[in-house]
Amino acid sequence: MGPRSARAPLAMAPRGYWKRVFADFREAAARMGLPRGSTERRSCVAFTSECAKLAACVVLGTYAALIAMGATSENAMTDATRLLNTMNAKVAWDAAAVRSHLTPLPALDGVDGDERDEYGHLTLAAQCSALETGGRDPGWPLRDPHDDTDGGAGLGFENAHALCEAMRRLPNELRVYTFPLAAAERRRYALAELAPTFNRGYDVEGHIVHFMGEPPFSTADPKEATAFLLPARPYLERVAAYPESGREAMTKNVKAMVDRLGAEDAATWRLSGSVGKGGGCARVMVSAHDTGTFAANRTDEEVREKAVFVASNADSTTRRDVDEMKRANNGTGSRATHARFSMSKDVSAVCSLSFHIPKDAVTQRAMTPVSVGDAGEASATPTPSAEDRRAVTLSFRGNDRGQFRERIFKHFRSLRRADWDLSSEGQVTPSEYEQLLGNSKFCLHVRGTRVVSPRLIEVMVFGCVPVIIADGYELPLAWLLDWSKFSIRVAEDEYDRVPKLLDDANWAEMHDNLRRVVGFFVYHRTPLFGDAFWTTMLGVWRQIKRGRACGLGPPKGGEKGITVVTDAVRSAWWWAASWLGL
């Protein structure tokens, strides 16, 4: 959401941008419930406004300092622009978070307080309980667990019963031992976390690494462990290295960490790679940066080829794919393949960490949570007028970096569709962004310099059906859920089919399926049973247990038969219990 020109940092925010940001701060203060006209309220409004003004001064002061130091080269100005954009966004989104925190959730029919999370969504625990005690199937669109077209066979589940049971067993089965950081690594990461960076995508990395080292999954005993976490933080390595090459720092320091662990904690390192612990497939590393698995590029082959990577940039594109792409596009279409993601061993991360966007979607009535009473029923649509309220058929907010985005947006804009709102220039405030998502039926997710963007998850939590044009992107939780039920996927060389696909799509049905799965795609300040963190951990455990990268192969036959028998027994019990009035 930044400017195109690196030489115009003062023009990066459109007219009225900061005025709207100040308004967000004032609205947040007003929602504290202080009496209008009171000294306390005036003080609160003044304080929040001054915070925004101070941040604006810091932004402009940074620019002035760069000019004073003679930082006028193209590269220096580009870096300055990125920094200023980051600080602009941080101020705006901090204001939005405060406003969201002070806004109460609306009353939700059929949803009890103890059944929903802080965003208003029905918890997975409540849905599993309703399934097991009342036979109410939540209607999750699960992926066929036997489908191996992308290497994902054996990761999913036959039905909701099996998923609920696996989630309940998870804390007893996934026991994570975290290798200790060296003193220098701790200091480097602590300092990097103080930097004024802002990215809802990159922050996922710290959230997952932190809570993997906390109950209920952590263990201090490596002998008890079934997973071994390498606590490298590629994104923080990038920040700590600034303004030097972040990629160089990532690969060098991740290699140094692996080498250190092999030397200083040799016994535990050998244990983590032993046959009894999965032959190396129980090692786990998290990378939410654009570099993905490339962060471990200099480590030994056993780590690169066997460890489970939880990666946001889950791009499985190969050199062969790129060569074919070039042949089809007259020699154009080059893209990076050094951070290749493998569905046979890795886990695609849910790539947006926000503790207020999911709540905003419910508060603004863009997403109506399902309830225990309607979960799984075909009639559980939001409201008859939900589609009518969304005046925009297709929307996009972001930038047009990359040849592919430039080409695709040029084509889409040439269609002059009055019901499309596609903008790739300038900044918008959080409130404008959220209003657009809540007013859109379909939202574009187009590959830019990378396949990943946190906007994919954000449009989903606002009930906007994603239209995904990003070849090679192994979507988050695609090992578990059937994305075709709540999204539209288009091959990059077929983007001109989008208008017809939208005309033919059943938006109401896809939107309803989004309501059912959204709980799997949101994180919480403290992880909640079945949320994005828990489901990611379930994916990690399924990959470790399957052990395909270590030659163990997918689970053998028999599981389906056991599941069928178990379901039959459960169904018989429910009928008997109902008849006896139990």
Which one is predicted more confidently, 318 or 449? 449
Span of 100-104, 352-356, 564-568 with lowest mean pLDDT: 564-568
Average confidence (pLDDT) over 188-200: 85
pLDDT exceeds cutoff 90 at 225: yes
pLDDT greater at residue 328 or residue 433: 433
Max mean pLDDT among 192-201, 239-248, 250-259 falls in 250-259
Asked if pLDDT for residue 53 goes beyond 70, the answer is: no
Grade residue 500 by pLDDT with cuts at 50, 70 and 90. Answer: very high
Q: Which amino acid is at 492?
A: E
How far apart are the C-alpha atoms of 526 and 524, rounded to whole Å? 5
Question: pLDDT-derived band of residue 70, with 50, 70 and 90 as boundaries?
Answer: low
The arithmetic mean of pLDDT across residues 391-405, rounded, is 89
- For the chain, percent of residues with pLDDT exceeding 90: 58
- pLDDT > 70? residue 41: no
Residue 470 in this model has a pLDDT that exceeds 80 = yes
Cβ proximity of 560 and 162 under 8 Å: no
Residue 167 pLDDT? 98
350's tokens: 């849910």
- State the average pLDDT over residues 447-462: 94
| Per-residue model confidence (pLDDT) at position 163 | 98
Number of Cβ within a 10 Å radius of residue 19? 9
Beta carbons within 10 angstroms of residue 324's beta carbon: 12
Residue 457 vs residues 152, 354, 543: alpha-carbon distances, Å: 21, 10, 23
pLDDT(384) > 50: no
More confidently predicted of 498 and 75 = 498
Comparing 93 with 43, the larger pLDDT belongs to: 93
Q: Chain-wide mean pLDDT for the chain?
A: 82
Q: What is the reported pLDDT for 242?
A: 80
Q: What is the mean pLDDT of residues 526-532?
A: 98
pLDDT at 556 over 50: no
Looking at residue 271, its amino acid is L
* CB within 8 Å of 348: residues ≥ 6 apart: 311, 312, 314, 341, 474, 475, 476, 477, 478, 479
Q: State how far the Cα of 349 lies from the Cα of 533, in Å rounded to an integer.
A: 9
Residues 384-395 as b/e (b if ≥16 CB within 10 A, e otherwise) read eebeeebebbbb
Is pLDDT above 50 for 400? yes
Q: What is the mean pLDDT of residues 153-170?
A: 97
Three-state secondary-structure class, residue 362: helix
Which tops the pLDDT comparison, 370 or 420?
420
The distance of Cα 156 from the centroid of its chain, to the nearest Å, equals 19
Bridge partners for 489 per DSSP: 468
Q: What is the pLDDT of residue 6?
A: 37
Q: Which of 372, 370, 368 is nearest to 385 (CA)?
A: 368
**Higher pLDDT among residues 193 and 52, named by residue:** 193
Which residues, in sequence order, are bridge partners of residue 395?
421, 443
Span 339-366, average pLDDT: 93
Eight-state DSSP code of residue 350: P
Q: What per-residue confidence (pLDDT) applies to 389?
A: 83
User: Where is pLDDT greater, at 425 or 496?
Assistant: 496
pTM, 2 dp: 0.84
Distance CA 295, CA 277 (A): 24
pLDDT at 577 over 50: no
Look at residue 112 in the predicted model and tell me its pLDDT: 59
Where residue 302 falls among pLDDT bands split at 50, 70, 90?
very high
Whether pLDDT at 65 is above 60: no
- Per the model's pLDDT, the better-predicted residue between 472 and 558 turns out to be 472
In one-letter notation, the amino acid at residue 574 is: W
The token pair that represents 475 in the structure block = 């979507």
d(CA 96, CA 431): 7
Predicted confidence at residue 246, as pLDDT, reads 81
The mean pLDDT of 177-184, rounded to a whole number, is 97
What is the reported pLDDT for 28? 54
* Cα gap 88→96, rounded to integer Å: 13
Question: In whole angstroms, how far apart are CA 448 and each of 243, 289, 310, 401, 468?
Answer: 23, 14, 21, 6, 12
Q: How confident is the model at residue 49, as a pLDDT?
A: 52
